[in-house]
Amino acid sequence: MKRILVTGGAGFVGSHLCERLLNEGNEVICLDNYFTGRKSKVVHLMDNPYFEVVRHDVTIPYFIEVDEIYNLACPASPVHYQHNPIKTIKTSVMGAINMLGLAKRIGAKVLQASTSEVYGDPEMHPQPEHYWGHVNPIGIRSCYDEGKRCAESLFVNYHESNDVKVKIIRIFNTYGPKMEPDDGRVVSNFINQALQGQDITIFGDGTQTRSFQYVDDLVDGMIRMMATGDDFIGPVNIGNPVEFTMLELAQNVIELTGSSSKIIHMPLPSDDPTQRQPDIRLAKEKLNGWEPKIPLREGLVDTIAYFDELMKTASIHKLMNV
Ligand code: NAD
Ligand code: UDP
Q: Catalytic one among 144, 158, 175, 214?
A: 144
From the CA of 42, the nearest ligand is: 1
Distance 209 CA to ligand 2 centre (A): 9
Nearest C-alpha neighbor of 277 from the set 137, 136, 173: 173
Exposed/middle/buried for 10, CB within 10 Å: 0-12, 13-18, 19+? Answer: buried
Instruction: Measure the CA–CA gap between 263 and 250, rounded to whole angstroms.
Output: 8
Distance 189 CA to ligand 2 centre (A): 9
Instruction: Walk me through the domains of the chain, giving residue ranges and CATH numbers.
Output: 3-175+214-240+277-293 (3.40.50.720)
- Structure confidence at residue 314 (pLDDT): 79
Ligand 1, atom 33, residue with closest C-alpha: 76
pLDDT tens for the chain, residues 1 to 322: 999 999 999 999 999 999 999 999 999 999 999 999 999 999 999 999 999 999 999 999 999 999 999 999 999 999 999 999 999 999 999 999 999 999 999 999 999 999 999 999 999 999 999 999 999 999 999 999 999 999 999 999 999 999 999 999 999 999 999 999 998 999 999 999 999 999 999 999 999 999 999 999 999 999 999 999 999 999 999 999 999 999 999 999 999 999 999 999 999 999 999 999 999 999 999 999 999 999 999 999 999 999 999 998 877 666 565 5
Amino acid letter, 147: G
* Ligand 2 near 248 CB (within 6 A): no
* Ligand 1 near 92 CB (within 6 A): no
CA distances to 51, 55, 74, 101, 297 from 60, in Å: 22, 12, 14, 11, 41
- Structure confidence at residue 20 (pLDDT): 98
Ligand 1, atom 27, residue with closest C-alpha: 76
| pLDDT tens-digit series, residues 111-149 | 999 999 999 999 999 999 999 999 999 999 999 999 999
* Ligand 1 near 217 CB (within 6 A): no
Q: Is 144 a catalytic residue?
A: yes
Residue 27's beta-bridge partner residues?
3
Instruction: Measure the CA–CA gap between 95 and 88, rounded to whole angstroms.
Output: 10
From the CA of 173, the nearest ligand is: 1
